[in-house]
Structure 1
Amino acid sequence: MTPRHQRTVGRRKVLFALGGAAVAAPVVAAIAPHALADPAPKSGTKAAAGPLPLTIVNNSGAFDNANVHVYIVGNQDGKQVRVTPEGTLAPISLSDNGPDGFTDYALSLSGSGETRLSLPYMSGRIYVALGAKLKFKAVADGNGNAALQYPAGWVTSDPNYGVLHDCAEFTYNTAGMFCNTTMVDMFSVPLAIRLTGSKDQTTGTIREGGRDAAFAAVKQVEEFSRLVVDDTRIIAPGHGLDAGLFPDDYFAPYIDEVWSTYTGKDLTVTTNAGTFTGRVRADRFTFDGPAQVGFDKPSTRDVLFCDGKLAAPNDGTTGPVAAVLGAGFNRTTLISHPAQPTTDAATFYGTDLTNHYSKAVHAATEDGRAYGFAFDDVADFASYIQDTAPTGFRLTLTPF
């Protein structure tokens, strides 16, 4: 499988486009979520055909089916859409807002047992809300088109801040099904996805006691402790930084050490385009290889969001190198391993100063895969699966 950080669409740009509501002004989702696929099937592969059977299973043990609400929202052909209970697509409309100013796009689960739905071609998110419904607001975007404000569980002023909720992401089109469980923004509800088709795959399953262990692990690290919101969610440190809950210079000592280390020796980064060899010159990390690419010294925020000085354009050269650097910073493997990307998970997060949030959510999953930061797919450690000939998709709320 081609590593996702080497594909044509960058996660980080997509993540910001689906950021939900910000403190100062709402942000409207404009393009598809993180799980983006190639636009067409590869030669010789079987194309996905028609609506995909979707099964929702509530094994949470904490909420019965009547108190679990599902939302399927996203984009198709550049337009924002939602899935109706009948499995059809409906455009987002300003008239969908009710008297309270919000839409009600909730899909109810069956009275008991599994709930079977139908998923049409689209890119989007499947949200689950437990105990209360989510408040999505239809608004006009900058071009006057109807768009949707997404929940932002990391923003205290967001109307959904008090609602226990989470989501999985997907792109389903003629090329197949491409999906993940995500903790890039936050971790709250244990979710697992199973994709059947040319093979049977599962990822995202939280091990027994894993949710509690993740909350406890993050809470015991002083700089990360304020990211834990009661028993509701853990906010990702990047969002915590923006909210004043996380130190904006946390990674500064490690960043400085990386710059100092590679002033005197080379770092190699291997991508699909080839191997790049880099060294810090005049305070800029410059790489030679298939192309010359360079990076100014990033900030802690740049590291956590894999953006800013570590932005990954879709150019096939700078983008892949930036993704590998972003992963190396978050996993704190850059100094110990001068050949990147590192593929031995036992070497990740081995320093006291590391991304303890990502470390905790990886430790919480049965397969060790999670999306703790935007380029956690580097070396295939993300909770991401795909199939070019899918026959069914299953989303399970696993025990708390």
Structure 2
Amino acid sequence: MRSRILSWLAAITATMPLIVSAPAEAVPPSLLPLTVTNNSNRADQVYLYVLGGYNGRLGYVNAAGQFTAWSGGAIPPSPAPDASIPGPAGGGSKTLNIPRNLSSGRLYMSFGEKLKFFLTPDGLVQPAPWNPSDPNRNILFDWSEFTYNDGGLWLNSSQVDMFAVPHAVEVTNTAGATKREGELKAGGRNNFFAALRGQPGDWPKLIQTRGDGTVVRALAPRLGIESGLFGNTYFDGYTTEVWNTYKNTTLTVVPIRENTAIKFFGRTDSAGVMQFTNTAGARVASVQRPSTRDVFGCDGRLGAPNSDTGLITRSLCAALHRSTLGYLHTQPTYNAAEFYTRAVTDHYSRKIHEQMVDGKAYGFSFDDVGNFESLVHDPNPRSARVILTPF
């Protein structure tokens, strides 16, 4: 239970892209219209939820854009107030209003049944369908993530925890230009699940199907490990090989594509620790060989603090997921044709990217390394959309 009792902010910022409040040409509107369009071809009632942080408090937003902070909570967790908003019927749309300065937000969408949220004195207990006892386990649902502030709107679809409901995200700016990401190819959802079922090993175990035969989701491997469904040594042989490679070869990390003067150089020492120096020769980071769980979670020994260490570990984690580390000795790399080409790789992320129209997805936490994530951003948004695409 403790792993589910998280403050809202801590729980979701771990999977959000790095966001910097860049100056906009003008302050965005106090309420941003976000329209949810239901092209799913499903007859189920859709329910929407807008949750996030506002002026230092955590809570939910109604369709008009009014924020209400969570309050109360108990042990055992008590039911949270019903924050659901009736969503659009098939072929229809529903416009919500997002208040400026709503941060680390989630737009949940569920089909056929409302989600169950709970409160403790420490914060919100979110749906955790990887837990067999979670009351949301058999509900078909998913979410988008966003932050809206003076720097504009950041909006992304995410498969970091799971893949369930295909949806695209859009932002239109004041000049009328629209950016769109996260759109699956026709039949992409079914093709993804079929491909995952056909992948040798533990990968098919990540798929969850409820009693009526509906495939409700695939869990990310990190959560598969936590649920006992996926082997916790999957990457161990590969990471051992990589750390050994850099005993005799230098790894160069150039973490900022727009500033190639920032470089770090890594070699594995006699104790098996990869030591990194900067261009001046000063040691800036020491990275021990990560566990399989560290790789899939992009945390633990690959955690990314706001420092030189974080710049390095983000690049390492992305390269391990994409199975380029140990083979391409300058990281990160930007040629997607070189990703996921080896037997030991993140097949979950690979198969999601393969089903996207433009190849972009959020298959793991640091999929934004190289800008391969399904994110739209504009400093001067006029409106936004989330489109539930056919499945």
> Which of the residues 242, 248, 259 maps onto 1:258?
242
> Which of the residues 263, 271, 274 maps onto 1:275?
263
SS at match of 1:257: helix
CA-CA distance at 1:381 after TM superposition: 0.4
CA-CA distance at 1:163 after TM superposition: 0.6
Which residue of structure 2 lines up, in the alignment, with residue 285 of structure 1? 274
Query: What CA distance in whole angstroms lies between the structure 1 residues aligned with 2:245 and 2:344?
Result: 17
2:4, 2:125 within 8 Å by CA — same for their partners in 1?
no
1:38, 1:175 within 8 Å by CA — same for their partners in 2?
no
> Which of the residues 319, 327, 334 maps onto 1:328?
319
2:172, 2:179 within 8 Å by CA — same for their partners in 1?
yes
Residues 252 and 110 (structure 1 numbering): CA distance in 2 closer, same or farther, change over 3 Å? Answer: closer
Query: What CA distance in whole angstroms lies between the structure 1 residues aligned with 2:265 and 2:148?
Result: 37
1:35, 1:179 within 8 Å by CA — same for their partners in 2?
no
Deviations 1:319-365 (A, max 9, x none): 01100000000000012211111101111110111110000111111
1:153, 1:160 within 8 Å by CA — same for their partners in 2?
yes
2:253, 2:331 within 8 Å by CA — same for their partners in 1?
yes
2:4, 2:128 within 8 Å by CA — same for their partners in 1?
no
What TM-score does the superposition give when structure 2 sets the normalisation length?
A: 0.89
SS at match of 2:274: strand
Size of the alignment, in residue pairs?
Answer: 367
CA-CA distance at 1:78 after TM superposition: 2.1
Which residue of structure 2 lines up, in the alignment, with residue 176 of structure 1? 152
Question: Which letter does structure 2 place at the counterpart of 1:306?
Answer: C
CA-CA distance at 1:86 after TM superposition: 2.3
1:181, 1:193 within 8 Å by CA — same for their partners in 2?
yes
CA-CA distance at 1:85 after TM superposition: 2.8
Query: What CA distance in whole angstroms lies between the structure 1 residues aligned with 2:89 and 2:292?
Result: 47
Correspondence 1:68 to 2:10: no
Query: What CA distance in whole angstroms lies between the structure 2 residues aligned with 1:89 and 1:186?
Result: 27
Deviations 1:19-59 (A, max 9, x none): xxx576533423454446656443x7333221101101000
Deviations 1:265-309 (A, max 9, x none): 111110237111111112111111155212011100000001111
SS at match of 1:151: coil
> Which of the residues 109, 113, 125 maps onto 2:106?
125
What TM-score does the superposition give when structure 1 sets the normalisation length?
A: 0.87
Query: What CA distance in whole angstroms lies between the structure 2 residues aligned with 1:264 and 1:252?
Result: 20
CA-CA distance at 1:110 after TM superposition: 4.5
CA-CA distance at 1:153 after TM superposition: 2.2
Query: What CA distance in whole angstroms lies between the structure 2 residues aligned with 1:150 and 1:171?
Result: 18
CA-CA distance at 1:128 after TM superposition: 0.2
1:23, 1:155 within 8 Å by CA — same for their partners in 2?
no
Which residue of structure 1 lines up, in the alignment, with residue 354 of structure 2? 363
Which residue of structure 2 lines up, in the alignment, with residue 204 of structure 1? 182
Question: Which letter does structure 2 place at the counterpart of 1:218?
Answer: L
Query: What CA distance in whole angstroms lies between the structure 2 residues aligned with 1:392 and 1:358?
Result: 30
Deviations 1:124-163 (A, max 9, x none): 100000011100112211xxxxx32111122222111111
Query: What CA distance in whole angstroms lies between the structure 2 residues aligned with 1:241 and 1:38?
Result: 29
Which residue of structure 1 lines up, in the alignment, with residue 166 of structure 2? 190
- Considering only aligned residues, what root-mean-square deviation do their CA atoms show, in Å? 2.0
Which residue of structure 1 lines up, in the alignment, with residue 194 of structure 2? 216
Q: Which runs of 5+ in 1 are unaligned?
A: 1-21, 142-146
Which residue of structure 1 lines up, in the alignment, with residue 212 of structure 2? none
Q: Which runs of 5+ in 2 are unaligned?
A: 210-214
Correspondence 1:339 to 2:319: no
Moved more, 212-221 or 127-136: 212-221
Correspondence 1:234 to 2:214: no
Which residue of structure 1 lines up, in the alignment, with residue 135 of structure 2? 159
